Structure 1
Amino acid sequence: MISIVIVDDHPLARAGMLGELNRVGGFEIVGEAHDVDSAIDTVRALRPNVVLLDVHMPGGSGGGGAEVVRECVDMYPGTKFLAISVSDAARDVVAVVRAGARGYVTKDVTGERLGDAIRKVHDGDAAFSARLAGFVLDAFGTGAGDIADRDDELDRLTGREQEVMRLIARGMSYKEVASDLYISIKTVETHVSAVLRKLQLSNRHELARWAAARRIV
């Protein structure tokens, strides 16, 4: 049995991953955490084989999943990290891989494929879809590190605002975003208003063009 700690700030998301992994079989969920600080404490206390962690989480110094990896990966070399997120943006993938994660999957992954990714990471291999692997090759294989350079405009957004921004830019409705992120429609509206204000954009169509130009959707 591969021991797993699930890290996600949404209880329903954690429950969904736990249910899928129990259905697939071969995994023991030994702990859960909901933010950066509790994740670091849980990993240090339990030292699981694999940590399945969301990329955007509250707490710590604002580094999200990448911060958890940086704080634990050298201290506990027997623990591997697999990132999971609604985001498939290049800079998110590269940031967590730079920190030491062995793989990255998106939250629309099936239970079977998630299980396969966990086993690969546990065995010391990398686990990425073809598109996400391309980002990693661009950043590390060819030296094109500019893919991970911080965008000053993007830095104005919180982690949650970035998640909402990417989903809205892909054409999802407020209701669909709310369902995907396990938040209320009113909260989505609040985040979208904040995003448009911070980026000085007028509507979601301008937002879609802005995100596409930066290859973050």
Structure 2
Amino acid sequence: MTDQNPIDRAATEPSAASAGLRVLIVDDHSIFRSGLRAELEADITVLGEAATVDEAIARVIDLQPRVVLLDVHLPGGHGGGGAEVIREAAPRAPNTLFLALSVSDAADDVVSVIRAGARGYITKSASGAEVSEAARRVSEGDAVFSPRLAGFVLDAFGAVAGETAETTEELDRLSARETEVMRLIARGYSYKEVASTLFIAAKTVETHVSAVLRKLQLSSRHELTAWALERKLL
């Protein structure tokens, strides 16, 4: 049909539906959606697009993408923006993950979507290649954040972790920098990625990791991840 909505066209093309990581682009600016679609790498399949909260919720449920590239500020719904999309759509799309993509780097915006369930938050200054890589990492279970946002995220997780007295005592053994390193390593970041995020040397990261493992009486980064998950620190 020649009058098919271009927003839905990608989802109905057989060759696209069977290839690559399947994503949905959600943003209220059509120029940004078109530009992002054009710049995503070849292994990323765009199933469709949405421009409002209500439209996004419907598309997530209908298309079941692996990753939603989600703007934080969206019209419609009850005024909750991207966070509202996550809260409403996630229970009906259990295999879908959300990567926030926004011009905003305000702490309140970051914390809002992370609390709602987003697995990452990057700014729109990222290149197509960077967004593609972030989407892949999120699809594989990693948490991905722009370097300048890492501090907000770490603070937010510390505030909502619901730490027990025992966990608080264990965390008190670590310095502030060791705690930052611990959380990033536990989320699967490589030493190089932690170094880039925190603007320190990879050798310094290695030193901090050794100290963290010693103080928490753990023997590997895999045990560290299990430790952090058990205490709901991720």
Q: TM-score, normalised by structure 2?
A: 0.59
Q: CA RMSD in A?
A: 1.5
Q: 2:49 aligns with which of 17, 29, 32?
A: 32
CA distance in 1, matches of 2:159, 2:96: 28
CA distance in 1, matches of 2:63, 2:22: 9
- SS for the counterpart of 1:91 is helix
Task: Please list the CA deviations of residues 39-64 of structure 1 after superposition, one character each: whole Å capped at 9, or x if unmatched.
Answer: 00000100001000110010000000
More RCO (CA 8 Å, sep 6+): 1
- SS for the counterpart of 1:71 is helix
- SS for the counterpart of 1:18 is helix
Q: 1:62-211 maps to which residues of 2 (within 5 A)?
A: 62-141=79-158
Identity over aligned pairs, percent: 59
- Where has structure 1 moved over 6 Å in runs of 4 or more? none
Which position in structure 1 is the counterpart of 2:24?
5
CA distance in 2, matches of 1:61, 1:143: 24
Q: How far did 1:131 drift?
A: 2.0
Unmatched 5+ residue regions in structure 2?
A: 1-19, 163-234
Assess if the C-alpha contact under 8 Å between 2:57 and 2:85 holds in 1. Answer: yes
Unmatched 5+ residue regions in structure 1?
A: 146-217
Relative to structure 1, is the Cα distance of residues 6 and 26 closer, same or farther in structure 2, using a 3 angstrom cutoff?
Answer: same
Matched, 1:51 2:68: yes
CA distance in 1, matches of 2:36, 2:129: 11
Aligned residues: 143
Assess if the C-alpha contact under 8 Å between 1:138 and 1:144 holds in 2. Answer: no
CA distance in 1, matches of 2:161, 2:61: 34
Residue identity opposite 1:41 in structure 2: A
Q: How far did 1:116 drift?
A: 0.9
CA distance in 2, matches of 1:17, 1:40: 20
Residue identity opposite 1:29 in structure 2: V
